[in-house]
A and B are shown apart, each in its own frame.
Chain A
Amino acid sequence: MKYNKIIILSIIGLAFASCDTEEFLNPLPDTAVVADAYFTTDASLLAGIMGIYDAAQGVNENTTTSITNSNRGVQFEYLFTEHRSDNTRSATLEGSKADFHRYLVDPNNVQSEDYYESMYQIIFRANNVLNFIGVANPGNQAKYAAEAKFLRAFAYFNLVRLFGDVPLVTEVVGALDNEKLFTRVPSAQIYQQIESDLKEAIDNLDNTHKSRASKAAAQGLLAKVYLTQDNRNYPGAAQLCQDIISSAKFALQANFRDVFYKELNPEILFAIQYIAGNTQESQSFSSEFTSLFRQGREDGLNIVNANLISDFTKFGGNRTAVSYVTFGTSNEVAKFLPEGSNITTSPPTYGPNARNAGNDWIVLRYADVLLMHAEALLAGGAETTNAAAIDSYMKVKARAGFNPVTDRPAVLTKEALLVERRVELAFENQRFFDLVRFGVADAVLKAHAAEMGYGSYDARKLLLPIPAREINLSKGLLTQNPGY
């Protein structure tokens, strides 16, 4: 009996000792990283940089299904940028993934929260690497810093376009430094940070890699930043695109299909890599884009809208057959079919391991740069006769099978450029941002929502809600976007 008492007492004591009340009562927010003593050598810092790419890559949903244990990186991005545009929708109305195309996202939406966390994972890992940049070999320091800053700019550019004003953290901060972690900073200031980070990347990187940051990728991303920020810089964007074109290091693939099925081909400026069959390095979106013969966890995502199909019919050329496939009444994305797929047989086959697909995620490719070049020369106008702008536009159109002479317009209009981007870059997470950048998002999506019967749409839905969990952790510092 007495013995028992001792055991009970010691167990209670143990419980107290193991429970650090400070940490228990103040859980670490997702947007913080604990600096540790890992970084001591050049090699460990390089591993740290790979860790930033890992945050962008995310963890396959099929590897860890728990939504709280892993972030998905860019693997959910299509939900915010394709589903929330007039391009695609979910096959069913079940689950929070089906909220995006109907503009029903609320602050508790797990995918939106996951993306917010993923982007801040990139930012905090980058800040951490920058904090320890001194341990790298002196010859590598500028290069490593530039690489980390490129990725930080990439994450902030995604955040500011989807969530509006967000907290700006550019150094390693403590978990309790709420002012820094939760104070929303005006987007103009965030764009300044993005610009300075990308300029540093341009100055210190070369074009060695495609799956890692490069000079051209930074130039292309900065061009898009210049075309997007409130205070547009059209001459700056035109110059950056011209620099990429003049470098002659990139070229359009003759066959449109090769863009997607020859990894890191000459058209790619920057892609996030995945490895097929590897649970740690594969992605789930390829399987989620199937529906009638579904391979994914859901009933089918990124299902192509009739509205986009009609644009494909008119402007798609030979891109149409590569971009999507029709099974019965189901129109499905075909740009990212898993390894070993054969959609010409009936029923189609999707290879041995569709859920652990290895298709890279293309962030930036040369056709996008050419169309941005035309956009920069159009300079916000409704139309242009500028020959260089029409040349760049026609290079993309000619690859799609249009005649470079007879199909060449005398005047390039904003509408023609927007629809060209739509069919060239369909399902590549560009459409939503294009609509916003061209200043037609509200008009186009209002009409689209009316056509599809999505009654919840209003102009405030162009920004996603700040995740409720972040607001709760902020103790009243973080404010919500209007309309949520």
Chain B
Amino acid sequence: MKQKLIYYRKMTLLFLTAFSLMVVSSCEKYFEFELPEANSKTDTVLPKADFSFAPDAKDFQTIIFKNLSFESTKYLWDFGGGKTSASQDPAFTFPGEGTYKVTLTSSDANGASNSITKDVRVVDLFVPLAPAILNGDFEAGAANWSFSSFTGGTTSPFNTSGDGSWLKYDGADNGAKTKGAKWTKETSAGAYKSSNTRYAYQAIVVSPNRKYILEYEYAIKTEAEQAGIAPGGNRIIGGILDGHFADGAEAISSYDKAPLLNHVGTKVLGKTVFTTVKGEFTANASGKVGILIYGVTDVDAYLDNVKVYPKK
């Protein structure tokens, strides 16, 4: 009897186990679908996409995006041209200036999503330095145009002259001649180079590696006004030195080797008939450059209205 009872118990246990196993396995599906239904609330606070952006301080083409989305966990950025990103706050480098459409799609874990598209304007807002040229119109004579020393030469920059341009520094017509600078055979360089050769020099500061224009007016007397032609032709030479120089001799040697700009003006149109020169140069890495202008001429040659400004 006892034996039988044990057998009976064992069988019951076996059946129970098998039955409960069956229940569990057959109910799996049922539970799976019922759970989210019971007591779960629909998500009514849905993702809202938004972003702002600003150019990188060092590179205007790289835009740093700031994600301002609400109720979202996943982000997809579309920068156009097949370029995308899934990070929250990406930075993207655009190929150049222009307006680009950028789309941000923010979504939550339920798959709800929201998109926003904004026009991203990529523009170079850099404002290069406008260097102040002191006494660029020579109204103050030779002031501000001298080297502080000149080994084997003179610091005197040119002869002052009343035969400058008819134009004022701002380009307006003066109605009469203004003051200018003058070179003669005695103060010339080139074949006439001597300890009396005169160079106009002014140190200026510009924005590093940016493009600038050096502008000035020059006039050379005609054969009829004064005879003589220097070897290589009568000319006014103007350019930009790579650096600031205390000593004129060092400056000339640097200029002869590697000027940032060298322009040779040979138009012989006569006294007070000025030719405007606009030479483009790229500033060096320090932004410290110098203006250097001198003459090689048998006849009187004139200079006026020296300007340096950023290239537009």
Min CB distance B87 to A, Å, is 11
**Do A482 and B68 have beta carbons less than 8 Å apart?**
yes
Task: Select which of B64, B67, B126, B205 is within 8 A of A460 by beta carbon.
Answer: B67
Residues in B with CB closer than 8 Å to A483 are 67-68
Q: Is A439 an interface residue (CB 8 A)?
A: yes
**Do A482 and B127 have beta carbons less than 8 Å apart?**
no
Q: Is B150 an interface residue (CB 8 A)?
A: no
Segment from B23-31, B49-57, B222-230, B266-274 that makes contact with A: B49-57
Total A-B pairs in contact (CB under 8 Å)? Answer: 43
B 102-122 contacts with A by CB, 8 A: none
**Do A383 and B129 have beta carbons less than 8 Å apart?**
yes
Residues in A with CB closer than 8 Å to B13 are none
Task: Select which of B57, B69, B131, B207 is within 8 A of A439 by beta carbon.
Answer: B57
Q: Is A93 an interface residue (CB 8 A)?
A: no
Q: Is B88 an interface residue (CB 8 A)?
A: yes
By beta carbon, the residue of chain B nearest A415 is: B57
Q: Is B89 an interface residue (CB 8 A)?
A: yes
Q: Is A381 an interface residue (CB 8 A)?
A: yes
**Do B287 and A443 have beta carbons less than 8 Å apart?**
no
Min CB distance B101 to A, Å, is 22
**Do A482 and B50 have beta carbons less than 8 Å apart?**
yes
Complex Cα distance, B127 from A384, in Å, reads: 10
**Do B67 and A411 have beta carbons less than 8 Å apart?**
no
Q: Is B132 an interface residue (CB 8 A)?
A: yes
Q: Is A275 an interface residue (CB 8 A)?
A: no
Complex Cα distance, B210 from A381, in Å, reads: 14
Contact A385 B68, CB 8 Å, known A410-B205, A411-B287, A439-B57: no
Complex Cα distance, B54 from A459, in Å, reads: 11
Contact A442 B207, CB 8 Å, known A382-B127, A385-B132: no
A 381-396 contacts with B by CB, 8 A: 381-385
**Do A382 and B207 have beta carbons less than 8 Å apart?**
yes
Complex Cα distance, B130 from A384, in Å, reads: 8
Q: Is A440 an interface residue (CB 8 A)?
A: yes
Interface string of B232-263 (1 = CB under 8 A from A): 00000000000000000000000000000000
Complex Cα distance, B69 from A122, in Å, reads: 32
By beta carbon, the residue of chain A nearest B56 is: A443
Q: Is A458 an interface residue (CB 8 A)?
A: yes
Interface string of A357-401 (1 = CB under 8 A from B): 000000000000000000000001111110000000000000000
Q: Is B70 an interface residue (CB 8 A)?
A: yes
Complex Cα distance, B126 from A380, in Å, reads: 9
Q: Chain A, interface size: which category?
A: 10 to 19
**Do A439 and B129 have beta carbons less than 8 Å apart?**
no
Q: Is B66 an interface residue (CB 8 A)?
A: yes
**Do A482 and B70 have beta carbons less than 8 Å apart?**
yes
Complex Cα distance, B50 from A483, in Å, reads: 11
**Do A385 and B131 have beta carbons less than 8 Å apart?**
yes
A 432-476 contacts with B by CB, 8 A: 439-440, 442-443, 458-460
Task: Select which of A411, A440, A443 is within 8 A of B129 by beta carbon.
Answer: A411
Complex Cα distance, B131 from A384, in Å, reads: 9
Residues in B with CB closer than 8 Å to A439 are 54, 57
Task: Select which of B89, B207, B288 is within 8 A of A383 by beta carbon.
Answer: B207
Complex Cα distance, B66 from A267, in Å, reads: 40
Min CB distance B26 to A, Å, is 46
Min CB distance A255 to B, Å, is 34
Min CB distance A112 to B, Å, is 19
Contact A460 B66, CB 8 Å, known A385-B132, A385-B205, A439-B57: yes
By beta carbon, the residue of chain B nearest A462 is: B66
Min CB distance A417 to B, Å, is 14
Complex Cα distance, B133 from A385, in Å, reads: 11
**Do B127 and A440 have beta carbons less than 8 Å apart?**
no
Complex Cα distance, B68 from A250, in Å, reads: 44
**Do A385 and B129 have beta carbons less than 8 Å apart?**
yes
By beta carbon, the residue of chain B nearest A459 is: B66
Interface string of B17-54 (1 = CB under 8 A from A): 00000000000000000000000000000000010001
Complex Cα distance, B58 from A442, in Å, reads: 13
Task: Select which of B57, B89, B130, B131 is within 8 A of A443 by beta carbon.
Answer: B57
Complex Cα distance, B68 from A382, in Å, reads: 29
Residues in A with CB closer than 8 Å to B129 are 381, 383-385, 411
By beta carbon, the residue of chain A nearest B50 is: A482
Residues in B with CB closer than 8 Å to A459 are 64, 66, 89
Sorted from nearest, which 7 A-B pairs have the closest CB atoms?
A482-B68, A459-B66, A381-B127, A410-B205, A411-B205, A443-B57, A440-B57
Could you list 30 examples of A-B contacts with CB < 8 Å?
A380-B127, A381-B129, A382-B127, A383-B129, A383-B207, A384-B129, A385-B130, A385-B131, A385-B132, A410-B205, A410-B288, A411-B129, A411-B205, A411-B287, A439-B54, A439-B57, A440-B57, A442-B54, A442-B66, A443-B56, A458-B88, A458-B89, A459-B64, A459-B89, A460-B66, A480-B70, A482-B67, A482-B68, A482-B70, A483-B68
- Seen from chain A, the residues whose Cβ lies within 8 Å of a Cβ on chain B are 380-385, 410-411, 439-440, 442-443, 458-460, 480, 482-483
Given contacts A439-B54, A442-B54, A458-B89, 15 further A-B contacts (CB under 8 A): A381-B129, A382-B126, A383-B129, A384-B129, A410-B288, A411-B129, A411-B287, A442-B64, A442-B66, A459-B64, A480-B70, A482-B50, A482-B67, A482-B69, A482-B70
